[in-house]
Amino acid sequence: MSSREYVTRCAIVPPYLLVRLARLDDPRYAGAAEAARHSLLRDAPLRERRSAAHPPAARPTARGTNATPGELDRAVSDAGGLERLPGRLVRSKLQVPVGDVTVNEAWDGLGHTHALFWTRFGHDSIDGHGMPMEASVHYGRDYDNAFWDGERMVFGDGDGQVFTRFTASLTVIGHELTHGVTQFSANLAYEGQSGALNESVSDVFGALVEQFALGQSVAEASWLIGAGLFTDQVQGAALRSLKAPGTAYNDDVLGMDPQPSDMAGYVDGEDDNGGVHLNSGIPNRAFYLVAAELGGNAWESAGQIWFDTLTSGTLRPRVDFAGFARATVTAATRRFGPGSREHAAVVAGWSGVGLGKGLGGVTSRA
């Protein structure tokens, strides 16, 4: 395994949640505890080495000479319970739906994610240049996660007690593929505030993929990330909530969702690469506030501003929350004008999470 894979692999389930499961001594959850321990052992080297280096984004993948811009090229493989990738190819553009719901969910999720980025933002696949979108399902035995490894989406089947199959949530698929979009654009370092922004951007566009696919307005959307991942034994709706960080679950086994919703609750520590899955709740909430203020469909204005920011070429890899906030104000100003309601909504959104200081008329590099 190369050092590049260590750096770029990003998983949907936070390590602190798996650690809590791994420490269970309740015989009723013996299977879930064992699955969590295995998942942590599989992921631990990646977390330890991920921040050791931050290579430049990979070069865009060139299209074939006969390819059409915006044409979706996707494939799904079956790892067969092993941890070798990609596995056996089971569905490509020449094949019809198969009898495996997991394969078909992954296939559809790739398509919905491509549709949002191409139809709404003119961004051709993950890298903007028609990169093939690939996924592998049935990875490992009872593997409690899904991840982007720098080249493809990979899905575990879950342990069956706490987590179900990870293809069940369209927001998870959109979230992980957006890590790829970030990799090929802003290439945000996966630690501290830039890492939390990396996670937040994936949550934002994961939510937008689902909303766009379902035709949901801001008011109609759930704003949940990972709805459908928990079994009926868990008291919780999802892994995270953009609308109300800290409220996604409250369970005797998993505990309470620990995400802060504003800077007053900011978590300062070294765990989870400096709290990337925790502090992402702050910019998540800021985006929701912007979208709620503007109303309508979140992908039209709020989503466009965040996409413009991500792909502007002005973000530094280790940009902090304040720098990213300034960059979104600049993006709103450039697209909609300094006196626009969009500009005002962005300033108000960041102010709502304690990051509004100095956001008027900002044009400097983040």
The whole-number pLDDT of residue 50 equals 44
pLDDT tens digit string along 158-191? 999 999 999 999 999 999 999 999 999 999 999 9
What distances in angstroms separate CA 227 from CA 14, 159, 352, 365, one per listed residue?
Answer: 15, 16, 25, 36
Over range 29-44, report the average pLDDT.
87
Mean residue pLDDT across the chain: 90
Cα-only R_g, the chain: 19
The whole-number pLDDT of residue 3 equals 33
Question: CATH 1.10.390.10 residue ranges in the chain?
Answer: 192-351
The whole-number pLDDT of residue 366 equals 52
CA distance 136 to 5: 16
Strands 74-78 and 88-92: antiparallel
| Known catalytic membership, residue 134 | no
Whether cis (ω within 30° of 0) applies to the bond prior to 86 is yes
The whole-number pLDDT of residue 8 equals 52
Topology adopted by domain 3-183: Elastase; domain 1 (3.10.170)
Q: Is the model's pLDDT at 287 over the cut of 70? A: yes
Residue partners of 213: CB distance under 8 A and separation at least 6: 112, 115, 116, 170
pLDDT tens digit string along 214-269? 999 999 999 999 999 999 999 999 999 999 999 999 999 999 999 999 999 999 98
Q: Which residues of 14-30 are buried (b: 16+ CB within 10 A; e: fewer)?
A: bbebbebbbebeeeebe
Q: Out of 123, 175, 277, 343, pick the active-site residue.
A: 277
Q: Is the model's pLDDT at 6 over the cut of 60? A: no
Per-residue DSSP letters for 197-233? HHHHHHHHHHHHHHHHHHT--TTT---EESTT-B-TT
How many C-beta atoms lie closer than 10 Å to residue 335's C-beta? 14
Query: Confidence class of residue 51 from pLDDT cuts 50, 70 and 90?
Result: very low
Helix pair angle (101-115, 192-214), 10° resolution: 100
Closest to 325 in 3D by CA, of 302, 342, 344, 349? 349
CA distance 283 to 197: 7
User: What DSSP state is assigned to residue 186?
Assistant: T
Chain-centroid distance of CA 138 in Å reads: 20
Over range 78-85, report the average pLDDT.
96
CA distance 327 to 329: 5
Three-state SS string across 16-63, please? HHHHHHHCCCCHHHHHHHHHHHHHHHHHHHHHHHHCCCCCCCCCCCCC
Q: Is the model's pLDDT at 77 over the cut of 60? A: yes
Q: Out of 134, 176, 191, 342, pick the active-site residue.
A: 176
pLDDT tens digit string along 98-122? 999 999 999 999 999 999 999 999 9
Q: Is the model's pLDDT at 16 over the cut of 90? A: yes
Of 88 and 47, the structure prediction assigns the larger pLDDT to: 88
Helix pair angle (302-310, 192-214), 10° resolution: 140
Question: CATH 3.10.170.10 residue ranges in the chain?
Answer: 3-183
User: What DSSP state is assigned to residue 117?
Assistant: I
The share of the chain scoring above pLDDT 90, in percent, equals 82
Residue partners of 321: CB distance under 8 A and separation at least 6: 193, 196, 197, 263, 282, 283, 355
The whole-number pLDDT of residue 40 equals 87
CA distance 190 to 279: 12
Query: Confidence class of residue 45 from pLDDT cuts 50, 70 and 90?
Result: low
Enter the CATH code of domain 192-351: 1.10.390.10
Note the pTM of the prediction, 2 decimals.
0.92
Q: Is the model's pLDDT at 42 over the cut of 90? A: no
pLDDT tens digit string along 242-257? 999 999 999 999 999 9
Q: Is the model's pLDDT at 318 over the cut of 60? A: yes
The structure tokens listed for 288 are: 């929701």
The whole-number pLDDT of residue 44 equals 61
CA distance 107 to 98: 10
Query: Cβ(234)–Cβ(216) under 8 Å?
Result: no
| Known catalytic membership, residue 176 | yes
CA distance 10 to 153: 10
Over range 68-96, report the average pLDDT.
93
Chain-centroid distance of CA 109 in Å reads: 13
